[in-house]
Structures are given as structure tokens and as C-alpha cells.
Amino acid sequence: MTRDIDAAEPEAVTCTGLAYFFGETKAVDGLDLSVHRGEVFGLLGPNGAGKTTAIRCITTLLPVPAGMVRVFGSDAAKDRMGVRRLLGYVPQQLSADAGLTGRENVTLFARVFDVSRRERAERVGQALAAVDLTDAADRLAKTYSGGMIRRLELAQALVSAPRLLILDEPTIGLDPIARTGVWEHINAVRAATGMTVLVTTHYMDEADQYCDRVGLMHRGRVRALGTPTELRQGLGERRRAEGAPASAPLPTLEDVFRDVAGSGLDDKSGDFRDVRSTRRTANRVG
Amino acid sequence: MSEAPAVLPTASAERVEGIDLLLRPPRPRAGWRLLPARVGAMCTVELQKLRHDRTEVYTRAIQPALWLLIFGQTFTRIRAIPTGGIPYIDYMAPGIIAQSAMFIAIFYGIQIIWERDAGILNKLLVTPTPRSALITGKAFAAGVKSLIQALVVVVIAALLGVALTWNPLKLLGVLGTVVLGSVFFSCLSMTIAGIVISRDRLMGIGQAITMPLFFGSNALYPISVMPGWLQAVSKVNPLSYEVDALRGLLIGAHAHVALDFAVLLVAALLGITAASSLLGRLAR
Ligand SMILES: Nc1ncnc2c1ncn2[C@@H]1O[C@H](COP(=O)(O)OP(=O)(O)O)[C@@H](O)[C@H]1O
Ligand SMILES: [Mg+2]
């Protein structure tokens, strides 16, 4: 991928040595990451990899106990308000307020981002139109389908013209058609506004299709980083060098992940504590 | 903060049209205007919700109506409680108004844990809203909701023949009293929410404290007839001051309205401070 690197313009997100522990659980354990301006960056990993915790540090929901997080150069630990003004955030749960209409849900976010009364209605209208919810805007959100709620949340995030859109598992629990719909809207909005998108998912196929670059996260750390094609070709070449036939199909992102997760497991060979915490995670994730 | 436009469009997607405003970040409000703006936003949301679903207002009117109808009318007849010459139902009406407003406010703090579990709170915490402004906004939203409930009970009391004031200034005072009281009680439950974290535990504690707060106040009987220990409880119970003010304003009973207001104001400020400082725990 070619890209103009301008040293004066900071990256959209940089994490260096970010760590966050819940008691014994090392949810994020030395995360290094940079998201370039204008790209769709996918943070990938299975349940419990630490994606949500990392996102919550970047969004200022959690403190940054160790390491450094910067959003467009602003320090997430020191300049929280400054960072929040740059962000649109869609959390993992479906989080629209069911007792309000779609329009009221979006208007609330316009108000808490200080959109002036003069342009509020029009801005809200544009955000709803951008996600194709104009017709459903005056219905209560509790009548929406899962895919519609996700799009509504996208409108809530867009109404403040964020420079960085952060989506945590935007397609989790949606049917395949709704998933495609959500991705198409993310892409259309990104194309039209040029905003940077940081998205987490555990669906490797979606990341392969929709992300410019991905980071494979396992046990609190990014274990591999690159464009999906780079990662897949890299593994393919290594396998051929190890004697796989040249006719073998290109490995999928899932193969790449299994490859790095395997080595990740090796270098931290499981003592009992690891086994226990993995089991606890499995219980919590369900 | 500079107001540079967002990154210029790199491509024009034919699906997304008319998005010029979505390219321009709004100008941040000046510091002192932020708090009233957030309070306004949260109160508007509360009114919108009530407009869409009024059932809660009606179902929650049943209990106070029964208190006034059964307890009020019976005790008016048997004259067991010294009220200084006021019919008992008139005496207890402000107590019941305060009680139903308090129930709403305490339940509101439970709602914030529900909003946390649903991700709504997290999303609000990622907006340029300081925690104290978020709590103040929520507390006043609870005040608005309580006020509507109080209005319903006032109407019920008037229908039952309670002699209420219609002096607009005094009614304004009633409004202020109910809102301040609800700010305190909602912050009390949001503070407990920040300590116990889980919804079930908060539900239990909420239920466990509402009745003692109610009976340990002057809502149903004057402080002077209480045993000494209950008098002590009643004197530190903000509900007593809320009831005292309402009694003075609504039915013209002897009251210390200025003192009541001062106590409620201090309690509300303390509540906001405590709840704001614990809000971070809820976000984890
Ligand atoms: N609030 C919490 N309290 C304790 N442990 C947590 C909490 N949130 C997450 N964890 C643990 O941290 C690890 C990473 O979780 P998370 O960041 O949610 O991963 P992901 O989003 O990749 O599924 C998991 O082991 C999870 O159980
Ligand atoms: Mg997650």
C-alpha cells in the first residue's frame, strides 16, 4: 500500500506498551499499535483477546495505567475531553435507547456534542439519511431490528463529525444480510467523509473483505500486523518454503491467525494459572 | 481547540448524499454553558420517554392514591395523630407527594446501572461531558420525572378535598423542593450504584432503604411524637426537610422553608459530588 507519510501529522491512533489488568487477568499486555489516517483498521482476535479493553482505553472509558495512548496526537490519559471530541464510538452491545425514537436518539448525541440549535435538526437528518433510516426515524428504537439499531448507533456516532470512528464488534449477533448492510454503510460513510475507522471483530472473513490493514490480537498483544493480503501471502510463502506444494490455495486470515496464536501459545506455555484464567474467560464469554 | 474541518472527502459515494454538515465538527461550547446544556439534554430525553410511555406515571400513582384514600381518610376520622388542627389527610398529603417523588428518584439510580449494562452510559461517557455534568444531568432528569409524578399526586389530593395553595410563587417553591429532593435521592442511589456495582444488589438495597427513609421522616406524623432515636434519624433525613417545606408551601402549615431549602441544596450538592466521584467505577 502506498501512503504519504507526513511527519508533522500524527497518526490517528498510537498505542505504545499499553497494558490493562483486571486483577490477575492481563486483558491488555503490552499493546503496540498505530492506525493511519483515513484507513479502515481491523483489530482481530477471538473472544477474550483484549480487544474491547484496548478500545475502552483508547476511548478514555478506562484509564491508561501503563503505556501511552494518543489519538491524533492528543494523550488519552491527559486530554480526555479533547480526545472525546474526536471520537465516534459504537460499543459492543446494541446500545440505542429503546424508549426513544431513532431521531431522538441521534438528537441526544448532537446535543451532548454541542451542535448548535440552529443546525441540529438538519445535521440529525443528514446522519439518519447516511444510514438509510430516514423513513424509520420517528419510530421507537424498540421496534428496530438488530441491523437497524447498529445503523442507528452509526448515525449517533456520525452526527458529531468525528475524525475517528471506533466500532467494537459492529456485526456481532447479526444475520449475514444485516452484517453486509452494516459494513456497506461503514464503507460508504468512510468513502464520503474520509474519516479513520478502527473496528474490532472476531469474524476473520469480514476483516479480510473490508479492512485496509489488520492487527491480529491474542492474549493482550498484537501478534501480526499488515494488510490481509500481505499476511496471507507471507504465510503462503513460508509454507511453500517449508515444502508445501506450489498449487496449495492461499491461506486464509484464519490460517494466519491460527499460525500466530499457536506460536503465541508456545512462548507463554500454560502453567496452571493460565489454564484457570482461560477457563474463567470461557465461562464469562459463555 | 482549533476548528479545522474534518479530513476532506477522498471519494464521493453516490449512496451518501447531503452530508456537508457531517464533515464539520461542532464548535465546543464555552465551559460555563456546558453544564446547563447537558442538564437540558438529559431532561429533554426524560420528557420524551414519558411522552412515549405514560404507563409508569399511572401505575405509580396507584400507591399514593391508596395511601391518601385509605390511610388519610381513616386517620382523619380517628384523630390519632396531633397535626395542630389541620385535617390529617391535609397533613399527610405533602408527605405522600414527597414519598412518591423519592421512590421515582431512587429507582432512577437503579436505571443508571441498567444503562451501564446496556452500553448507553458508556457511550455518554465518551462524549465531551465531564462526569459531574453527566451526573447532574441525570439527577435533574430524575427531578423532572419526580415532578410529573408529584403533579399527579397533587391532583389526586386536590380531588380528595385537600385544601392546597394555588399561589403561583408557592407552587414554584414546591417545584424547587421536589426537584432538589429528587436530585439528592437519585444521587444517593447512583452513589450506592457506584459502590455495589451490580444491579441485583442495588435493587435489594434500594428496596431496603426506601421504607426506613419514609417511616423515619415526618411524612406521616410529626417528629415530636417519635421516640428519641427516631427523632435523631428523622432530623438527618433529607426527606423530613422536603416534607416540611412542602407542608409549609402547599397547605400553609408552620414550617422552616428557608432552612429546608438550605439543607436540601447542601444535600443535593453532596450527592452530586459523591455520585460523580464514583461514576468511574461504573464504567469499568
Ligand atoms: N470488567 C472486567 N472485569 C474482569 N475481567 C474482565 C473485565 N472485562 C474483561 N475482562 C477480561 O479481560 C480479558 C479480555 O476481555 P475483552 O477485552 O473483553 O476481550 P475481547 O473484547 O477481545 O473479547 C478477558 O479475559 C475478560 O474475561
Ligand atoms: Mg469484545
Q: For cell 404507563, what's the residue?
A: B55
pLDDT at A71 over 80: yes
**Mean of pLDDT values over A133-159:** 95
Amino acid in position B177: T
pLDDT for the residue A284: 41
Indicate yes or no: pTM above 0.95: no
Kindly identify the ligand whose nearest atom is closest to the C-alpha of A27.
1
Average pLDDT over residues B173-184: 97
**Can you give the pLDDT at residue B280?**
86
Average pLDDT over residues A136-140: 96
Give pLDDT tens digits for B234-262: 999 999 999 999 999 999 888 899 999 99
Domain map (residue ranges) of chain B: 35-78+86-283
- Residue type, position A65, single letter: P
Q: Which of A52-61, A225-234, A271-280, B226-235 has the lowest mean pLDDT?
A: A271-280
**Per the structure block, which three cell numbers stand in for A153?**
448507533
Are A193 and B13 within 8 A, CB to CB? Answer: no
ipTM value for the complex: 0.88
Neighbour-count burial of A19, counting CB atoms closer than 10 A to its CB (0-12 exposed, 13-18 middle, 19+ buried): buried
* A92 Cα–ligand 1 center, Å: 12
Distances (CA, A) of B247 to B67, B90, B186, B235: 17, 9, 22, 16
Q: With an 8 Å Cβ cutoff, is A114 touching chain B?
A: yes
More confident residue, B30 or B167: B167
The pLDDT of residue A126: 95
Cβ A219 vs Cβ A28: under 8 Å = no
Q: Is the pLDDT of residue A250 over 50?
A: yes
| Residue A173, all three cell numbers | 449477533
Report which of residues B169 and B5 the model is more confident about.
B169
pLDDT attached to residue B3: 46
Give the range among B49-53, B82-86, B94-98 with minimum mean pLDDT.
B82-86
Put simply, the answer to whether A193 touches B23 (Cβ < 8 Å) is yes
Reported for B132-136, long-range contacts at CB under 8 A and 24+ positions apart, including other chains, are B132/B272, B132/B273, B132/B276, B133/B34, B133/B35, B133/B38, B133/B39, B134/B38, B134/B276, B134/B279, B135/B187, B135/B190, B135/B272, B135/B275, B135/B276, B135/B279, B136/B35, B136/B38, B136/B39, B136/B183, B136/B272, B136/B276
The reply to whether residue A85 touches residue B1, judged by beta carbons under 8 angstroms, is: yes
Binding-face residues of B in 225-284 toward A, CB within 8 A: 283-284
Segment B149-161 shows an average pLDDT of: 92
8 Å CB contact between B191 and B136: no
List of domains in chain A: 13-285 (3.40.50.300)
Which DSSP state fits B21? G
What is the band of B17 on the pLDDT scale with cuts at 50, 70, 90?
A: low
Determine the pLDDT at residue A283.
Answer: 40
Q: How far is the CA of A58 from the centre of ligand 2 (A)?
A: 14
Q: What is the mean pLDDT of residues B134-162?
A: 94
Please give the mean pLDDT across all residues of chain B: 89
What's the rounded mean pLDDT across residues A185-192? 90
The mean of the pLDDT values for chain A is 87
